[in-house]
Amino acid sequence: MEWKPQVEIYDTTLRDGSQMEGVNFSLQDKLRITEKLDEMGFHYIEGGWPGANPKDVAFFREVRKLPLKHAKICAFGSTRRADNSVKEDRNIRLLLESEAPVITIFGKSWTLHVTEALKTTLDENLRMIEDSVSYLRKQGREVIYDAEHFFDGFKTDPEYALKTLQVAWEAGARILVLCDTNGGTLPHEVEAIMQLVYERLGKHVPLGIHAHNDSGVAVANSITAVRMGAIQVQGTVNGYGERCGNANLCTVIPNLWFKMHIASIPEEKIRKLFELSHFVSEIANLRHDDYQPYVGRSAFAHKGGIHASAILRHPATYEHVPPEAVGNQRRIVVSDQAGRSNVVYRAKEIGIELDPKDPRISALVQKIKEAESYGYQFEGADASFEILLREVLGEKVKFFDFESFRVIVEKRGGENTTTEATIKIRVHEDTIHTVAEGDGPVHALDNALRKALEGLYPELRKIRLFDYKVRVLSEKEGTAARIRVLVQSTDGEDIWGTVGVSTNIIEASWEALVDSVRYGLWKKLQKGK
């Protein structure tokens, strides 16, 4: 049986999302994201503005080669220019040449834009809308009409804004999308204005919503529009977009399903939203927002001891939906606010069953609080916490003993800076002394440690450091400030974090690096058993 959505999802990550500061998708990036959105069951994917740049022209050529199963590709562009023949208009011609089956065309709804931006008359603007939509329909294309600046236009001149919609509808647009282009409209205004639009056009006219987030309510405006009868929501993955972004589809979609029982994409695809969100942020080369609703890493993280205790008994006490429903997972964060429940739960997650009355738990909680008062942070350093936990319980996660290290950074004249690290460690009864160079102190120490250990532990060759963050903890102390270093490592299968703290950045880095290696080797050893 064919899937029938109640609300269509129209994605504009590749166009509106790419206008976000710091985002620059390559052609291959756009094609990869297109495949992922299609896999998710999105209904429309806006690929770009044909003719705006060579990359968008190439996209529409290459996307035709993809075996898409669900999504329709949309080309985006404006109505014909003022006083231009629609058949001779370059923008209209390029839209058709894209061969996209759907064309999303925008027109002006706000009198200010008609007279000041387009420098034309109100009547000519209506003809531009009518000619463009009608001509594209006659060429066999599905037309989605985006009423740009609709809400601002309605507030200024409701009669004219409504006329622009009426003209687009009568010319053959399949759906009329009301755009809050400046992002300044609030939900109660969306509700009131949409009510008046339906009264004028009739409930049979399909409406959509395109909301920007400049007032922080793009998702709320999208949900309100659906409540009022909108059958299409336009937005982007992770809310990417110009200025403050667009409506975040990773929030809109689960809100529709879990809160309003309105279907957009299939339920089994909603369970992949976490994966989609992180995939797009990686392609965009942007750090993922940990605090994003539903799909952020912290969306289901519990730090307070009372919360963890309640979660152990009944997850619904502090979770509005099960994290697995969107592909996320629950995390019990161990911190200086942690109680015994946090430690018991976190231990259970890593396969250690603890009796809540075990006196060692109190000792561990005390160690954690003392460490965090100094500057350690275990929220992003699960591996360092696990090492601490296992050692308190009497397990050894060691592999080697540290004796000394030395780092020399040298620069002469116009030559490149060179870094050399010397380390001395003890493995069993043997002392190992190695020297290695690197691009910087941490890289040199990493190379020296690997040189010392890879012969004994070949598993180390699969472990690599892929992220390194430094945080100054006491800025007022200047160069004598305490430093926290967080390291992310991977073996190609799993990712783990470790932490080090010191007034010396190299010492803090070494501590985090050593924990990373120790944990990685211990994990490999456990898998081999």
**For residues 196 and 491, which has the higher predicted lDDT (pLDDT)?**
196
Q: What is the pLDDT of residue 367?
A: 80
pLDDT of 485 over the 70 cut: yes
Averaged pLDDT of the chain: 89
pLDDT 10s digits, 500-513 = 999 999 999 999 99
Q: Give ∠ CA 517-520-521 in degrees, rounded to 5.
A: 85
Q: What is the pLDDT of residue 474?
A: 67
Domain 8-283 adopts which CATH fold? Answer: TIM Barrel (3.20.20)
Q: What is the pLDDT of residue 1?
A: 38
pLDDT of 380 over the 50 cut: yes
Q: What is the pLDDT of residue 349?
A: 72
Under the banding of pLDDT at 50, 70 and 90, the label for residue 436 is: very high
Under the banding of pLDDT at 50, 70 and 90, the label for residue 317 is: low
CA dist 378 and 494 (Å) reads 18
Q: What is the pLDDT of residue 337?
A: 47
Q: Which helix (H) or strand (E) holds 27?
A: helix 27-39
Q: Where are the domains of the chain?
A: 8-283, 301-374, 400-456
Q: What is the pLDDT of residue 478?
A: 61
Percentage above 90 pLDDT, the chain: 63
Taken in order 101, 6, 233, 283, is the CA torsion positive or negative?
Answer: negative
pLDDT of 331 over the 90 cut: no
Q: What is the pTM assigned to this prediction?
A: 0.71
CA dist 278 and 177 (Å) reads 28
CA dist 147 and 117 (Å) reads 15
Domain 400-456 adopts which CATH fold? Answer: Double Stranded RNA Binding Domain (3.30.160)
Instruction: For residue 524, count CB atoms less than 10 angstroms from its CB and return exposed for 0-12, middle for 13-18, buried for 19 or more.
Output: middle
pLDDT 10s digits, 45-95 = 999 999 778 899 999 999 999 999 999 999 999 999 998 899 999 999 999
